[in-house]
Chain A
Amino acid sequence: MAEAMTSHRRRQSQLARREAITAYLFIAPYLLTAGIFTFGVLLYVFYTSFTNLSASYAAASARFVGLDNYIRAFRDSEFRIALANVFWYFIIVTTLQTIGAILLASLLNAKLRGMRFFRTMLYAPSVASSVVMSLIFLWLYLRTGFINYVLGTNISWLQDPRPIFAPLYGLFGVDVSSVPYLFRGPSITWVAIMIMNVFSTIPTFMVMFLAALQDIPVQLYEAGAIDGATGWKAFWTITLPLLRPVISLVVVLGTIGTFLVFAQISIMTQGGPLRTTLAPLYLIYQKTLGTGTQAEAGFGAAMAFILAGIIILINIVQRRYIEQPSDV
């Protein structure tokens, strides 16, 4: 009897071991690729951020320079300009795309004929790549383009470095060029790229909000109606609080997306005019590959890690304050 038990147990553990080996074979491709290309590359880039690695990418010529690249990054005028630019981009784009997505999703959240059709039509533009949008808007934003025509303006949208807060400072008789760069606000060209980005990212977030809205039980609104909460009041007191987790997520995803803006700049402006559309990732790209400048891959890597740190910090704060109701 006891013998049968032990042999049974041995067989069990043998089966468990075989199962574990099979499981590890199934996930081996992930472990290998993530180990080398996600974490390995991350460590390698982290290492290069402490060296003066340059264009030839030959490790032999790279010298260990300690924290020099990081210290230099914080003092570097271009990097500071890029951070100021991306700060405005992040604030304006995340705000507008989140509000726009909630409003469109609320509009679609009705048990009516044709809602599926409209959902499809509104979502469609977001499947086009940022390259496509950039190429199209390159034309629409021309001085002779449709956007000036419709707005009745005469602006070179993609070549106008004037800061948008300039008229505001003008009211108080302050010359905008005497104000620190960050407080001048984004340039007209930068705003033009922001609008294009909001336009093409709203649909994705709209669908996320719509899924969340459809999960809200109707009974909550029925109960709210008895207490006099209808229309806008119901939206503020019932819908928005319940959307909090999704709002938090959309803001976090939006933050990551806006801080990493790259393709639009690469295709439309290359950071110009007067560096007013220079974003950190584009600067890192220029420094790493040496396009239009001297290649300093180590310096680029240090800037990348500073950028990643900023994004993660902001995300932590966002998750903490948006996800849970603050008054609990």
Chain B
Amino acid sequence: MAISMKRQSTAQASAQPQRTPLTFGIALRYIALLVFSLFAFMPFILSLLGTFKTNAELTAFPPMLLPQQWRLDNWTRVWNFTLPTIQGPVLPRWLFTSTWLAVLNVLLRLFFCSLAAYAFARMRFPGRNLLLGIVVASMALPAEVTLIPGYVFYARINWINTYWPLIIPDLVVPFGIFMLTQFFKSIPRELEEAAYIDGASRFRTYWNIALPLSRPALITLAILQFQGSWNDYTKPLLFLQRPDLMTLTVGMAFFRFQYVNDLSAILVGAMFNAIPMLIIFFLFSKYYIEGASYTGLAGQ
């Protein structure tokens, strides 16, 4: 199995629905899927409804599905929330940090991964297979194990409470190189060779021809990396210890320990974290699912 343009098109073709008479077995399948889908969404539905309840309602037993009175108090309260040492409300600040970090990380990773992938897929140079082997091998190692003890290293180079450890070490992710290398290999060579013979440099052929043809793969990678950066918890927890620098994920964890009993605020925070991700997912779900199945291929 390889990642290629062809694979995507066949996957789309096979997903075409057909008309089939409704039998008992099929009805059962639909019912099961409906139940599981509802079950999968239940935590989000319950907590979204929960954000409109008071703290007393949230801990009442038996729990109620709907709030007695729909109030936006929790949302405005969390949005305007302030901390003693920081000027201005803190949640918009965390939201902004998470956003710019994710966007910057996506752009940098797309550029550097595709550049390296282009060299691996199209150019001849000594040590190519060895280096590609290292890229693939480094995907299979539990590298996260050294992330936490590696704190000492970042402390030594004075990168604690800076954004550098969240940007620079993952500038070029092995998975991105691997995925795009496979994709570039599936593009017909002739398209680039014509341009190359006409005197365009390697960089120009990469930029003007290979990149535009790789849109689907680039979008898939972009979405996966955005999610990775937006949802990341361990790194910002380790490296961003001052509340004014935090991202939304660690900000909410920080919040949870400061205000243990303020459940409604905790739920609003969780929604601020989840909703942008869910919106992106529903807009790009096709690429998303392609990407998740690529993750599978990468490990083989």
Contact = CB atoms under 8 A, between A and B. Distances in A.
B44 interface: yes
B171 A29 contact: yes
Contact of A114 (B17, B62, B124, B203): B17
B209 interface: no
B249 interface: yes
B63 interface: yes
Contact of B33 (A37, A44, A107, A128): A107
A57 B62 CA distance: 51
Nearest to B255: A135
A132 B112 contact: no
Given A114-B30, A129-B230, A139-B267, A120 B125 contact: no
B168 A37 contact: yes
B151 A121 contact: no
Contact of A26 (B34, B116, B126, B141): B116
A27 B112 CA distance: 8
A225 B74 CA distance: 59
Contact of B148 (A124, A137, A210, A300): A300
Given A120-B282, A135-B267, A128 B274 contact: yes
Nearest to A270: B257
A110 to B, nearest CB: 7
Interface string B224-268: 000100111110011000000000010011001000000100110
A285 interface: yes
B41 interface: yes
A208 interface: yes
A137 B37 CA distance: 18
Interface in B247-298: 249, 252-253, 256, 263, 266-267, 269-270, 273-274, 277-278, 280-282, 285, 288-289, 292-293, 295-296
B3 to A, nearest CB: 11
A22 interface: yes
A120 B285 contact: yes
Chain A interface size, under 10 / 10 to 19 / 20 to 34 / 35 or more: 35 or more
A contact patch SS? helix
Nearest to A303: B149
B contact patch SS? helix
B231 A130 contact: yes
Interface stretch (B53-61, B85-93, B187-195, B212-220): B53-61
B26 interface: yes
B70 interface: no
Contacts of B142: 256, 259-260, 308, 311-312
Interface in A293-309: 297, 300-301, 304-305, 307-308
A24 B125 contact: yes
B146 A29 contact: no
A112 B34 CA distance: 14
Interface in A106-146: 107-108, 110-116, 118-125, 127-133, 135-140, 142-146
Interface of A: 16, 19-20, 22-24, 26-27, 29-31, 33-34, 37-38, 40-42, 44-45, 48-49, 53, 57, 59, 104, 107-108, 110-116, 118-125, 127-133, 135-140, 142-146, 149, 199, 203-204, 207-208, 210-212, 214-215, 245-246, 249-250, 252-253, 256, 259-260, 262-263, 266-267, 281, 284-285, 288-289, 297, 300-301, 304-305, 307-308, 311-312, 315
Given A114-B33, A199-B40, 13 more contacts: A23-B125, A27-B119, A48-B152, A112-B18, A112-B29, A121-B40, A125-B43, A127-B288, A135-B267, A139-B58, A143-B61, A208-B292, A211-B296
